Amino acid sequence: MKKNPIVIGLAQALVLVGYISLVVQLMRSGLTEREPTFLTMLLILTVFTTSALISGTITLGYPVYLFWKQKEFKLAIKSVVSTAIWLSFFISAAITFVITT
């Protein structure tokens, strides 16, 4: 079966947007009006760092597999570029939505 980098990029971007939405929803539900403590700030930075690791894995995991195991260098690069383009599209759509509402 031929692998389409556009579909791979779309799938990775959708999973990443879903993950980010979940993290944002969890963080919004935990915010309160009280002053942040040391532990709150520690938790926020830990979540941020862990989120960066998970986001990197979602975005680069399959292309790295293609690059090293399958030796499909062009497909790996095309899928990373496709993911970046899809994410840019989703960001543009979100900005447009926020501006128009």
State pLDDT tens for residues 24-54.
998 887 766 677 789 888 988 999 999 999 9
Whether residue 65 is contained in a domain is answered as: yes
Whether residue 92 is contained in a domain is answered as: yes
Dihedral sign for Cα 94, 97, 100, 101, please. negative
Considering its fold, how many domains does the chain have in total? 1
Q: What is the pTM assigned to this prediction?
A: 0.84
Three-state SS sequence of 1-46: CCCCHHHHHHHHHHHHHHHHHHHHHHHHHHCCCCCCCHHHHHHHHH
Whether residue 54 is contained in a domain is answered as: yes
Structural domain boundaries, residue 79: 35-101
Whether residue 76 is contained in a domain is answered as: yes
Whether residue 19 is contained in a domain is answered as: no
Return the pLDDT at 1: 64
Instruction: Read off the pLDDT of residues 69-99 as tens digits, 9 standing for 90 and up.
Output: 999 999 999 999 999 999 999 999 999 999 9
Q: String of b and e for 17-29 (b: at least 16 CB within 10 Å)? A: beebeebeeeeee
